[in-house]
């Protein structure tokens, strides 16, 4: 099977995007449920019912994130090295918060003490709130850019600190991510739990939907119209291995609109996000929770496509040296590496999708009292 190098680079952009989408939809349910469960569950029994809704599936859902990180390392090693070094503190905080979830689910019911259970409840809430928010902050940094450049032997030289990534725009992206992921969790709680949890989830979803629509509109508008974007003036042959410093990049306000000027159809992506969230809220209010989840999952796809379309082909812009910015064309592995990885994906991805679908089919329906006793 012979696939051009340029085509493989595009394929891996889509595959990595699909992996992060898989986590945002399935893992987003878990993060959203964890973030909301003490707000919606007012008694210990109700909280145990909510936790039982994600108990059988959360470990499998988290595999999407692990696989996406591994794919970044293998397909875009230069991006992986620079981004994970630049945002080391942020990713460490995400990791530490995710570590709180397994012991929270496993140890919460070990003692009947209210103080003991309240402690693990707080840990579980943090395990949902912190990653959901910081994932959005990470995306915000992709638009505002990273302060790095390459030295004479192509080693990334990093500048900036954890706090330099916490700009108002990036915090706004964090709110977008937190509201959308929490919305996924609210719809999942509505779908999996009985009354009165179902009704509370509907009310919470309404609030989260308003927050998402407002924050998403402001963040997207501010990004494309107000901050400095990046655009390629010259790029070597895309079918060859490219040295990251060999291109010419221009930087200026409004350049994140470049792809929208070339392909106006791209404006449909942010519209789809907003429209699908509105539809999800309508389905939720009419107690059609399955359709609400489906509609919100499409909204997540629209949001990720909006981000990818706006950035394309950049994956790590450099504010220090714009010509050293990384794109999908020059941050990738060799042709042979991408090809063999693609063959492996063609074999393994259908198995993963089939298993995930089977698990959710087996676990369909409302949580019963016997299941919640485990939590």
Does the pLDDT value for residue 315 go beyond 70? yes
Where residue 22 falls among pLDDT bands split at 50, 70, 90? very high
Whole-number Å distance between alpha carbons of 250 and 243: 17
Does the pLDDT value for residue 254 go beyond 60? yes
Q: At what angle do helices 114-144 and 168-192 cross, to 10 degrees?
A: 130
Where residue 375 falls among pLDDT bands split at 50, 70, 90? low
Mean pLDDT in the chain? 91
Above pLDDT 90, what percent of the chain? Answer: 67
How many Cβ atoms from other residues are within 10 Å of residue 116's Cβ? 14
Where residue 286 falls among pLDDT bands split at 50, 70, 90? very high
- 198-221 pLDDT, tens digit per residue, is 999 999 999 999 999 999 999 999
Pick from 263, 183, 252, 251: which is nearest to 216 by CA? 183
Asked whether the CA dihedral 257, 258, 264, 266 is positive or negative, the reply is: negative
Compute the average pLDDT of residues 322-341.
Answer: 93
More confident: 60 or 278? 278
- 160-169 pLDDT, tens digit per residue, is 666 777 888 9
Does the pLDDT value for residue 229 go beyond 60? yes
Does the pLDDT value for residue 369 go beyond 80? no
């Amino acid at each position: 099977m012979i696939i051009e190098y340029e085509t493989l680079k595009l394929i891996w952009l889509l595959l990595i995007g699909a992996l992060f989408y898989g986590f945002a939809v399935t893992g987003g349910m878990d993060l959203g449920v964890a973030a909301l469960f003490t707000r919606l569950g007012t008694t210990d029994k109700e909280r145990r019912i909510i936790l039982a809704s994600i108990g059988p599936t959360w470990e499998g859902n988290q595999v999407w994130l692990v696989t996406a990180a591994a794919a970044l390392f293998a397909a875009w090693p230069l991006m992986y090295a620079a981004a994970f070094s630049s945002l080391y503190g942020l990713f460490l905080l995400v990791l530490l918060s995710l570590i709180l979830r397994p012991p929270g689910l496993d140890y919460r019911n070990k003692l009947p003490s209210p103080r003991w259970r309240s402690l693990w409840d707080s840990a579980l809430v943090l395990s949902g709130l912190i990653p959901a928010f910081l994932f959005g902050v990470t995306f915000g940094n992709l638009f505002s850019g990273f302060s790095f450049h390459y030295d004479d032997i192509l080693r990334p030289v990093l500048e900036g600190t954890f706090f330099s990534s916490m700009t108002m725009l990036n915090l706004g992206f964090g709110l977008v991510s937190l509201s959308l992921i929490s919305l996924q969790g609210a719809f999942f709680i509505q779908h999996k739990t009985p009354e009165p949890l179902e009704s509370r989830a509907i009310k919470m979803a309404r609030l989260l939907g308003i927050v998402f629509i407002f924050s998403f509109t402001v963040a997207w508008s501010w990004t494309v119209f107000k901050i400095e974007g990046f655009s390629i003036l010259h790029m070597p042959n895309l079918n060859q291995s490219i040295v990251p410093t060999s291109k010419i990049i221009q930087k200026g306000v409004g350049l994140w609109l470049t792809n929208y000027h070339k392909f106006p159809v791209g404006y449909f992506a942010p519209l789809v996000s907003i429209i699908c969230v509105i539809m999800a809220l309508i389905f939720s209010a009419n107690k059609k929770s399955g359709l609400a989840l489906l509609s919100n999952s499409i909204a997540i796809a629209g949001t990720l496509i909006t981000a990818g379309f706006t950035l394309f082909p950049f994956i790590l812009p450099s504010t220090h040296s714009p010509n050293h910015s990384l794109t999908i064309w020059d941050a990738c592995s060799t042709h042979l590496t991408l090809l063999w990885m693609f063959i492996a994906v063609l074999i393994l991805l259908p198995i993963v999708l089939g298993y995930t679908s089977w698990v959710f089919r087996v676990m369909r329906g409302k949580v019963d009292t016997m299941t919640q006793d485990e939590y």
